[in-house]
Amino acid sequence: MTPDQFETLYRDHFRRIFNYIRFRVCAPHTAEDLTADVFVRAFEYGGSFCPEKGCPDAWLAGIARNVLYSHYKKTAAAPQMAELSDCLPHGTDIEGEYLYRENLRCLLGHIDGLNPSHRELIALKYMQGLNNREIAALTGMSESAVGSALFRIIGTLRKQMAS
């Protein structure tokens, strides 16, 4: 991978990778460090990327997952959900923003209550923006199993939010 190719990769995918990692760790500085580790590894192993096997998003998500697992192993920390208040929109409607924050806080609480593999699927789908085929390739599940699991998880979250 040439420096120009890496620069384009970094510019196009930094925000998505950072958001995915930030969703999985609580400390913003840790998320920044781990995101940097992802791109260092991507630069080092850029020659291993094969466009025929998948898109750069999936390749980087796989690297990010490995970086996170290494981090959890080294620190003996359990995966955690981040407070995402710094990512919330700032509107002039104070009541609307309050309701939005409360709904999001409630949703994140329900997501935090999911088992780790379900939280991982939610993070890959909605924070990383991967499709079911890409998630299947990363997790070793079949594409239909990913779709079914996500359908069930979302249904469970909807029921919990409605009650």
**pTM, 2 dp:** 0.58
Q: For 65-80, how does the pLDDT look when each residue is reduced to its tens digit (9 = 90+)? A: 999 989 988 877 555 5
User: pLDDT tens digit string along 15-39?
Assistant: 889 988 888 887 788 989 999 999 9
Distance of CA 40 to the CA centre of its chain: 18
CA distances in angstroms from 12 to 17, 32, 39, 81, listed in the order given: 10, 17, 12, 25
